[in-house]
Chain A
Amino acid sequence: MKVPSANDPRWAKLLLQGGQQSFEFLALNMVFTRVVIAAKRDTSKENLSKLTQELREVFEKNAHNAKVVKDLERIFSAGGN
């Protein structure tokens, strides 16, 4: 599965709906927790865009890792988000 583009609205939804996600890939848990907290503090479009870039990059640059592939599919497959 391809990592959704940075302007896909599902990223903002993911950031704003909070920290109920559990990832297999360790770094995703760390980055996701931090960006969700940062999104709560500042919900401006600019900030959400910056945080989306950060989160998206972790998915994209680790897409060779089977754990990340699973996390990506779970989050973005139909019904996942």
Chain B
Amino acid sequence: MKLISGVLDFDHVVAAIQKGQRLVISADESLLSKLPKGNWLGGTTPYFMAASGGTFSKDRAFVQELSPMATDLRFSWYSDATISSVYNDASENGFSFILIPAFAKIHLTFGLKAPEFGNFGVRPLVGWVAGTQLENLGVVAAKVYNGQTLESKSDEAIVLHATLPESHFADVNIVNIFETSNSQDELEFLTDGFEVERVKVSGKQRDFAGYIAEKKADIRWPLVGDYGGASVNLSFAGIDGGKVKLLAPVFAGVKYRLASPAGDYNAYLKAFQAKMSGFEKQEVGFSCNCVLNYKHGDLHGKIIPELHGPFVFGEIAYQLLNQTAVVMTICPR
């Protein structure tokens, strides 16, 4: 049986909910707020990578159906005060799916503190940060939904905990198309945070905003954290006076470099295709991509065949990251 994973109009979303299908629904608030009760959770974003290409739509939704192997579904709200137990509450063998409203306090807390929470790295957590039409970011609040109760919130995260049979497990992967060059300076930050003033450049302290200006760095491209075998991207939100604002936090002690420019759509397509090879033979349980890849890669109307899902405002693969695609596969043991 083929699971739903694609763009549906309102009537088809309603029909899928009424059939009892278990769904993750990405759509504009105007659509999500009209859906009936059912086994679904949702978050606001009007941007999707559909089979027909990058799409902006307020009257259609990107719908992902959960694997039939997922059982014992538990929907829970998490506040800024309770998010620290999100991994502890997960099933021993399963996965958890989280949707967080952008710029809520819980977004910042999760971004900064998740790696210290109990069972981080032990129990798989994937998901994304909900947003709005890019022009309305910070003006219109992002929302996340519990379809079982039809509650929506702008200040809490909705989490779906699911259990998998002993025969299978969830594997979380990131697809990062950005590269760094050893000729780029190695950067370290003095404190953890979403806002940065000081940086150590190859061991020497200075102001980060001045460094970016001096290097004529294009802040459409992310900062890339060196996590050994994984590169973790953080996007620039802007520079305000002497403060460099980021969409995910830097961590003191981690080494960063500015990403090399990603190029145009063709470069994005080539990079994603190269990095997505291998997933086509697996059961993809969930995928999403960053709205900044949609924007800066000029992906509207363009196809990335291997990678369908919502474009979102922060990706979660265990921890918060940016300008990255996240893919969760369900694998046999």
List the interface of chain A (C-beta within 8 A of B): 19-24, 26-34, 37, 40-41, 57-58, 61-62, 64-65, 67
Query: With the chains together, A23 CA to B333 CA distance in Å?
Result: 19
Cβ A64 vs Cβ B229 within 8 A: no
Instruction: Tell me if A37 and B253 are in contact (CB < 8 A).
Output: yes
Of A24, A29, A57, A67, which one neighbours B227 at CB under 8 angstroms? A29
Knowing A37-B254, A40-B253, A58-B121, the reply to whether A32 touches B228 (Cβ < 8 A) is yes
State in angstroms the CA–CA spacing of A34 and B251 once bound together. 9
Q: Is the interface of A mostly helix, strand, loop or mixed?
A: helix
- Count how many pairs of residues, one from A and one from B, have CB atoms less than 8 Å apart in the complex: 68
Q: Are A23 and B229 in contact (CB under 8 A)?
A: yes
Partner of B121, one of A21, A22, A30, A37: A30
Q: A19-B228, A23-B228, A26-B173 are in contact. Are A31 and B254 (CB under 8 A)?
A: no
Whether A27 touches B172, Cβ cut-off 8 Å, given contacts A58-B121, A58-B122, is: yes
Q: Is the CB of A64 within 8 A of B228?
A: no
Please tell me if the beta carbons of B319 and A65 are within 8 angstroms of each other in the complex.
Answer: no
Residue of B nearest to A55 (CB): B121
Question: In the bound complex, do residue A33 and residue B228 qualify as a contact, i.e. CB atoms below 8 Å apart?
Answer: yes
| A30 surroundings in chain B (CB, below 8 A) | 115, 120-121, 227, 230, 232, 318-319
Residue B317, interface by CB 8 Å: yes
Whether B333 lies near A27 (C-beta < 8 A) is no
Is there an interface contact between A31 and B228, defined as CB atoms closer than 8 Å?
A: no
CB distance from A58 to the nearest CB of B (A): 4
Q: How far is the CA of A66 from the CA of B317 in the complex (A)?
A: 19
Give the CA-CA distance A32 to B121 in the complex, in Å: 10
Listed residue (B116, B120, B331) with the most chain A CB atoms within 10 angstroms of its CB: B120
- Structural contact, B172 and A26, CB atoms closer than 8 A: yes
Judge if B252 is at the interface, Cβ distance under 8 Å: yes
Assess whether B174 is interfacial by the CB under 8 Å rule. Answer: yes
CB distance A34 to B229 under 8 Å? Answer: no
Chain A residue contacts of B228, Cβ below 8 A: 19-23, 29, 32-33
Give the distance in Å from the alpha carbon of A37 to the alpha carbon of B115 in the complex: 13
Q: How far is the CA of A20 from the CA of B123 in the complex (A)?
A: 25
CB contacts (< 8 Å) of B265 on chain A: these are none
